[in-house]
Amino acid sequence: MKQMTLKTTSDLSLAIAKDRFSRGALWRFPARVPLLLLVTGLFLQMPAVWAQQQETPGKAAIPQESPFGTYGSFEKLLQAAEEGNADAQAQVSLCYGKGIGVTQDYEKAFTWAMKSAKQGNVLSATTVAGCYFQGKGVEQDIPQAIEWLTKAANQGNVMAQHNLGTMYLEGLPDIPKDEKKSFFWFEKAANQGDREAQCFLGVCYLMGKGVAKSTEKAVYWTQKAVDRGDPAAQRNMGIFYATGEGGLKKDVNKALELWKKAAEAGDSEAQYVLGSCYAGDAEYCDPDKIYQNMPEAKKWLQKAADQGNEKAKEALERLFHIKASS
């Protein structure tokens, strides 16, 4: 095989990195779980949801191992809900939404979630929002979904804050994009330790989305997410180290370490850049800071290609004459 020469750009600037972001390269927001799966409590695991419910005065906390807790049966749980117990109403809603102990019925799930949400139950507010988003048990109504999700977010629900940030970033039917609102809610979630929101904030500061640009703050929030093990943040922090931006000393070895962590976690962009570096086909690294390793390059490019990464497919064909499947 012809010896590959490393492409270098000793003065690779943040502007170039940001331009790559706009072209769909490495600077990007982290991949997200499909929004509709996040916003609705109906599709969460029952024990996990119940574990988050606050204990109602006079009632024992509901143990995770029992579908009805101290109530013992759905009938008794329903009775408590009919007597106005907001937590019981939330649990009845989830039972109908999941079909646990009763025939699945989205209309009843929505009805009980609404009763509970009107009493201030934050998880029920997210369930109501999810029903409105998906049109399950009620006619789809995006503005109503936003209203209830905002109620939950204002009560400190991290999931709701995260999703509002996502919605305002991307926009929805009847909900225009609003980068300032997006940043506002991502910051709320990030301050509560949401690692994806922390990664989002890093890119917001880098790109000036909803906030004044600041590479130092971009690094700060990206590192927060790295500390919590977020693969997209590891990938982006690798770029900061590779370019020496944001007040960091350029450190290609540190960049490779971060990219490898993200690649091992399944991040296809990190797999692509890691493979490119090992192939000597990347601009990020100085020639004397990396050693070619073509087997490793092929391995990581293949992993990225297997996930549909088009740049990795092109690199495999160009460097190894491997035609990757679509």
Instruction: Look up residue 244 and give its amino acid.
Output: G
Tokens at residue 11, please? 């003065």
What is the reported pLDDT for 325? 63
What is the reported pLDDT for 136? 92
- Taking each helix axis from N to C end, the angle separating 294-306 and 310-320, rounded to the nearest 10 degrees, works out to 140
Give the whole-angstrom CA distance, residue 93 versus residue 90. Answer: 5
Which residues of the chain register pLDDT less than 50? 1-65
What is the reported pLDDT for 127? 93
Tokens at residue 123, please? 């998880």
Handedness of CA 295, 297, 301, 303 (dihedral sign): positive
What is the reported pLDDT for 211? 96
314 exposure class (CB count in 10 Å sphere: 0-12, 13-18, 19+)? middle
Predicted TM-score (pTM) of this structure: 0.75
What is the reported pLDDT for 189? 97
Give the whole-angstrom CA distance, residue 322 versus residue 320. Answer: 5
Q: Assess contact for 164 and 185: CB atoms under 8 A.
A: yes
Backbone angles phi, psi at 281, to 5 degrees: -125, 25
Handedness of CA 224, 163, 212, 18 (dihedral sign): positive
108 alpha-carbon distance from chain centroid: 30
Q: Per DSSP, what are the bridge partners of residue 175? A: 172
Angle at CA of residue 323, ends 320 and 326, nearest 5°: 135
Q: Which residue has the tokens 């799930």?
A: 109
Q: What is the CA radius of gyration of the chain?
A: 24
Q: Assess contact for 275 and 312: CB atoms under 8 A.
A: yes
8-state DSSP, 45? -
Q: Cβ atoms within 10 A of the Cβ of 285, count?
A: 24
Q: 208 in helix, strand or coil?
A: coil
Tokens at residue 201, please? 């904030």
Alpha helices in the chain (DSSP H): 14-22, 35-39, 46-52, 74-82, 86-98, 106-117, 122-134, 142-154, 158-170, 179-191, 195-207, 215-227, 231-243, 252-264, 268-278, 294-306, 310-320
What is the reported pLDDT for 290? 62
Give the whole-angstrom CA distance, residue 272 versus residue 26. Answer: 9
Q: Which CATH superfamily is domain 32-58+65-177 in?
A: Tetratricopeptide repeat domain (1.25.40.10)
Give the whole-angstrom CA distance, residue 159 versus residue 187. Answer: 13
